[in-house]
């Protein structure tokens, strides 16, 4: 049974303080809890894509990682890790590493390094079936370079390359559904989660992913106070609203079988998620009601598709 | 005991890799280097090596995976050509900055565009200042020998730099030549086992690699790379000496062919040197004092040694198998002339761009060069195009 | 050997490798803070809501699974903990007041 107090008390953080992520950033609690899902006796090699997390956690001569860590470039966290994992396999096979000691391979990338510039390397590494867990911390834009739109940016969001202008009101395209793209790789385990309800869902999925053999993918919502435009203290509220409106469903796909791990008793209107965020402010101006309606339609469509997939794969 | 064989340059390279038995090979096919991962994956699938072969989805990932593997504490190798090398360009720089002794077989081919699959050196030249050691090979034998020496050079603790072994696409990569192979057991003894001091899979000593390296640090780390490149020169010579003991085959920073009294000298790299040697023999029979300086070690560039070797010539032609798109000359010409200038060697030196996109390099062309050198009146036209169709 | 802004190139680690895992613990981020969380032990029911949400790992949890006072060396004052506390045991105060 998941017991957060026990886990935090008994598993020291593998993601140290003294990092330089922004105050209230959604990513560190996520990364720290995922790493706590690793058994204390297991070693980890983290591969990190260039992005907020990388530039804030490994600034020479400091590192926040207590395990081994490698960063090479923006688009290749997955391919870099595939080399590390291949080396591990080869050295183990040759008896050059102790047989009874295990190393786990975990990648962290933002949505820029995962949905966009890194999708080729990610797809390749997943298809090749390297024994690794790729974690995308999705904050819905290129936050590190100053909030430019990504393919993970929700429709209508105001970003610095999709500004809410007088003619074009923010990003016109809908979000890419990367989790579903990963499901299409027919991986042993794909999951989408958020730091919600005392991290239970996140922890359990991380543990399952890390201890399932093969290539696994986790997509984790990671609110960004600066990019989304909300007060830092509201981090957990944003996580909650994303899930309760079904904007960010929490589900897993194990060997092709869908399981929605949390179904809101009463699905909240998506407005509740949009309203606290400055990036959607223009949607609430008189005359822009259509934007909220359209956003709601997209959320509903995807949620219904997900329900149908769950039903279909559990027959 | 050596083994006499008949192999193409690609086969010889793949065979060297098999004998070395690296821990990881990550590669993506591209003409004309494709055969190397093909042959190699056959060794892997037949259980003849301990290697994990990572059939990556791109060259960018090939170099990324090599970086990951080498950083993890393994020996990693790859092979590529032209656009493949350009696609991995970003990672090529990162590999050397992380001080990872990765070994690459580069089968030289013209880079796009327009698309062409045949040999020139534009791919190697586009990465010439990436912090990699670069060896060039005239023949299949040299491609094989350089490959056997590569790890010893790259992994030396005073060096710790990646290395590429170059040969000409198709001209040597696909031509079968007689070759003398070393017994596998001797290769393994010569190459030795890889024992990195710090590596990712050392769980007792976890490390972080590839940090954000800001203003107080990057300059100093680059200076360290320079030092490593400087150290590489002596290490290359030391390894060559050991190699000579093993095989009897002698290697240096460059090869001098009939240079003792040479008045008219060609400087070039890779397979063209063979053609030049034939022409020199014929010219010498007619009393022309022709010579050749064939570069083997292009990075680190042996500046002083080259300047000294060229100091007694009357006229020099540097042959760049690279399109020259600036007005300062090809990369080899720039390096040779700047080496000479700094050492106060003042010999008229002209530059030819030649063999572009696999254009045949004939003895006739080389004769033209030596003829030009003998009749060099002034330096008003130092930049020339050899074998170009022109009105 | 400690590496700092004045370290000469000869003494820096090659390739920028960092050998001291987790050494960011020596880099204090507490001075980023403009607001400060204040912990009221009396009101705290040790429910475990606050410590996993802290981005800075600035809420120490002891072996008895109980949280202790904030580690102000690292707390950046984001206030996420104060918002998740169901018992009002964490209040945010302006720094320096």
Is residue B89 predicted with pLDDT exceeding 80? Answer: yes
Measured CA to CA, the distance from residue A300 to residue C79 in angstroms comes to 33
CB contact under 8 A, A62 and C56: no
Q: Subunits that touch chain C (at least 3 Cβ pairs < 8 angstroms)? A: A, B
Nearest to A121 by CA among B53, B64, B37: B64
The CATH classification number of B2-247 equals 3.40.50.970
Asked if the domains B2-247 and B254-386 are classified in one and the same CATH topology, the answer is yes
* Cβ neighbours for C43, distance < 8 A, ≥ 6 positions apart: C87, C88, C89
Cβ pair B73, B22 in contact under 8 A: no
CB contact under 8 A, B64 and A124: no
B223 touches chain C (CB under 8 A): yes
Kind plus residue range of the DSSP H or E element containing A207:
helix A200-210
Calculate mean pLDDT across residues A7-36.
Answer: 98
ipTM over 0.90: yes
The CATH classification number of A4-313 equals 3.40.50.970
Is residue B318 predicted with pLDDT exceeding 80? Answer: yes
**pLDDT per residue as tens digits for the range B346-372:** 999 999 999 999 999 999 999 999 999
B230 touches chain C (CB under 8 A): no
Angle among Cα B130, B132, B137 to the nearest 5 degrees reads 120
Domains (range + CATH), chain C: 9-94 (3.30.70.20)
Calculate mean pLDDT across residues A150-170.
Answer: 98
Kind plus residue range of the DSSP H or E element containing C36:
strand C35-39
* Cβ neighbours for A59, distance < 8 A, ≥ 6 positions apart: A20, B211, B212, B214
Mean pLDDT (chain A) is 98
Calculate mean pLDDT across residues C54-62.
Answer: 97
Measured CA to CA, the distance from residue B317 to residue A16 in angstroms comes to 60
Calculate mean pLDDT across residues B117-135.
Answer: 98
**pLDDT per residue as tens digits for the range B303-317:** 999 999 999 999 999
Q: Where are the domains of chain B?
A: 2-247, 254-386
Q: Where are the domains of chain A?
A: 4-313
The sign one gets for the Cα dihedral A216, A217, A218, A222 is positive
pLDDT at B384: 97
CB contact under 8 A, C80 and A236: yes
Nearest to A103 by CA among A118, A123, A81: A81
Sheet containing B24-26, strands listed edge to edge, beginning at the edge strand earlier in sequence: B52-54, B24-26, B76-80, B103-108, B163-168, B133-136, B297-299
**pLDDT per residue as tens digits for the range B203-255:** 999 999 999 999 999 999 999 999 999 999 999 999 999 999 999 999 999 99
Q: Subunits that touch chain A (at least 3 Cβ pairs < 8 angstroms)? A: B, C
A271: Cα separation from own chain's centroid: 23
Q: What percent of chain A has pLDDT over 90?
A: 100
Q: How confident is the model at residue C97 (pLDDT cuts 50, 70, 90)?
A: low
Taking domain B254-386, whether its CATH number is 3.20.10.10 is answered by: no
**pLDDT per residue as tens digits for the range A34-67:** 999 999 999 999 999 999 999 999 999 999 999 9
Distances (CA, A) of A137 to A210, A278, B156, C59: 16, 21, 40, 23
Q: What percent of chain A has pLDDT over 70?
A: 100
> Tokens standing for C85?
């506390």
Compare CB distances from B201 to A59, A79, A97 and report the shortest one's residue.
A97
Cβ pair A170, A158 in contact under 8 A: yes
Q: What percent of chain B has pLDDT over 70?
A: 100
The sign one gets for the Cα dihedral C70, C72, C74, C80 is positive
Is the backbone peptide bond immediately before B114 cis, with ω within 30 degrees of 0? yes
Distances (CA, A) of A313 to A205, A240, A309, A310: 19, 27, 6, 5
Cβ pair B79, B22 in contact under 8 A: no
Is residue A162 predicted with pLDDT exceeding 80? Answer: yes
Q: How far off is chain A from B85, nearest CA to CA, in Å?
A: 16
Mean pLDDT (chain B) is 98
Cβ pair A39, A206 in contact under 8 A: no
pLDDT at C96: 80
Is residue C1 predicted with pLDDT exceeding 80? Answer: no
Chain length of chain A: 315
Is residue B1 predicted with pLDDT exceeding 80? Answer: no
> Tokens standing for A89?
């396999």
Cβ pair A132, A81 in contact under 8 A: yes
Mean pLDDT (chain C) is 96
Nearest to B366 by CA among B289, B290, B254, B262: B290
Q: How confident is the model at residue A308 (pLDDT cuts 50, 70, 90)?
A: very high
């Amino acid at each position: 049974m998941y017991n957060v107090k026990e886990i935090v008390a008994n598993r020291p953080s593998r993601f140290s303080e003294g990092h330089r992520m922004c105050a209230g950033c959604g990513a560190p609690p996520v990364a720290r809890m995922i790493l706590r899902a690793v058994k204390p006796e297991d070693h980890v090699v983290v591969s990190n894509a260039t992005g907020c997390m990388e530039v804030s956690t490994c600034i020479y001569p400091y590192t926040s990682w207590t395990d081994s860590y490698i960063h090479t470039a923006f688009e290749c966290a997955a391919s870099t890790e595939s080399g590390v994992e291949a080396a591990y396999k080869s050295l183990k096979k040759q008896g050059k590493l102790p047989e009874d000691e295990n190393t786990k391979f975990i990648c962290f990338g933002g949505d820029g390094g995962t949905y966009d510039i890194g999708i080729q390397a990610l797809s390749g590494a997943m298809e090749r079936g390297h024994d690794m867990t790729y974690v995308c911390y999705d904050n819905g834009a290129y936050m590190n370079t100053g909030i430019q739109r990504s393919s993970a940016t929700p429709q209508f969001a105001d970003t610095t390359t999709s500004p809410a202008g007088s003619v074009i009101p923010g990003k016109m395209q809908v979000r890419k559904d990367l989790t579903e793209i990963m499901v299409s790789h027919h991986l042993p385990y794909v999951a989408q989660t958020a730091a919600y309800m005392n991290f239970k869902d996140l922890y359990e999925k991380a543990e399952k992913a890390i201890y399932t053999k093969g290539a696994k993918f986790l997509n984790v919502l990671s609110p960004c106070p600066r990019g989304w435009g909300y007060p830092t203290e509201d981090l957990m509220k944003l996580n909650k609203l994303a899930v309760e409106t079904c904007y960010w469903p929490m589900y897993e796909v194990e060997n092709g079988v869908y399981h929605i791990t949390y179904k809101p008793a009463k699905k909240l209107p998506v407005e509740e998620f949009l309203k606290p965020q400055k990036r959607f402010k223009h949607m609430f101006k008189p005359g822009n009601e259509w934007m909220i309606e359209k956003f709601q339609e997209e959320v509903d469509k995807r949620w219904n598709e997900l329900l149908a997939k769950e039903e279909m794969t559990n027959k | 005991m050596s083994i006499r064989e008949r192999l193409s340059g690609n086969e010889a390279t793949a065979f060297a890799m098999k004998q070395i038995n690296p821990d990881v090979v990550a590669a993506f096919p591209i003409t004309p280097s494709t055969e190397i991962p093909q042959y190699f994956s056959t060794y892997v699938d037949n259980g003849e090596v301990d290697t994990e072969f990572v059939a990556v989805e791109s060259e960018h990932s090939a170099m990324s995976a090599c970086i990951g593997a080498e950083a993890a504490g393994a020996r990693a190798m790859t092979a590529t050509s032209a656009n493949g090398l350009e696609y991995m360009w970003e990672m090529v720089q990162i590999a050397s900055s992380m001080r990872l002794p990765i070994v690459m077989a580069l089968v030289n081919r013209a880079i796009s565009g327009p698309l062409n699959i045949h040999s020139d050196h534009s791919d190697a030249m586009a990465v010439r200042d990436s912090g990699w050691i670069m060896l060039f090979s005239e023949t299949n034998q040299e491609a094989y020998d350089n490959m056997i020496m590569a790890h010893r050079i790259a992994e030396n603790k005073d060096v710790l730099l990646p290395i590429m072994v170059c040969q000409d696409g198709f001209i040597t990569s696909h031509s079968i030549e007689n070759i003398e192979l070393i017994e596998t057991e001797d290769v393994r003894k010569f190459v030795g086992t890889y024992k990195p001091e710090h590596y990712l899979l050392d769980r007792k000593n976890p490390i972080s690699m590839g940090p954000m390296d800001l203003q107080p640090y990057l300059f100093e780390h680059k200076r360290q790379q320079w030092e490593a490149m400087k150290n590489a020169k002596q290490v290359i010579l030391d390894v060559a000496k050991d190699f000579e003991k093993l095989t009897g085959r002698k290697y240096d920073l460059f090869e001098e062919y009939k240079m003792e009294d040479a008045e008219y000298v060609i400087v070039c790299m890779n397979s063209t040197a063979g053609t030049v040697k034939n022409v020199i023999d014929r010219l010498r029979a007619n009393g022309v004092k022709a010579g050749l300086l064939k570069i083997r070690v292009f990075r680190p560039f042996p500046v002083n040694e080259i300047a000294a070797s060229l100091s007694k010539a009357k006229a020099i032609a540097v042959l760049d198998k690279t399109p020259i798109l600036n007005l300062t000359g090809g990369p080899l010409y720039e390096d040779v002339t700047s080496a000479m200038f700094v050492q106060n060697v003042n010999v008229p030196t002209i530059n030819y761009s030649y063999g572009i996109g696999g254009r045949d390099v004939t003895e006739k062309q080389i004769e033209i060069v030596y003829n030009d050198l003998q009749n060099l009146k002034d330096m008003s036209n130092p930049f020339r195009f050899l074998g170009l169709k022109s009105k | 050997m400690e590496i700092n802004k004045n370290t000469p190139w000869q003494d820096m680690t090659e390739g920028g490798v960092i050998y001291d895992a987790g050494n960011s613990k020596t880099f204090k981020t507490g001075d980023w803070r403009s607001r400060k969380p204040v912990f009221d032990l009396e009101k705290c029911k040790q429910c475990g809501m606050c410590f996993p949400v802290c981005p800075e790992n600035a809420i120490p949890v002891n072996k008895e699974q109980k949280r202790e006072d904030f580690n102000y060396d690292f707390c950046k004052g984001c206030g996420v903990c104060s918002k998740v506390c169901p018992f009002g045991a964490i209040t945010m105060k302006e720094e320096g007041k």
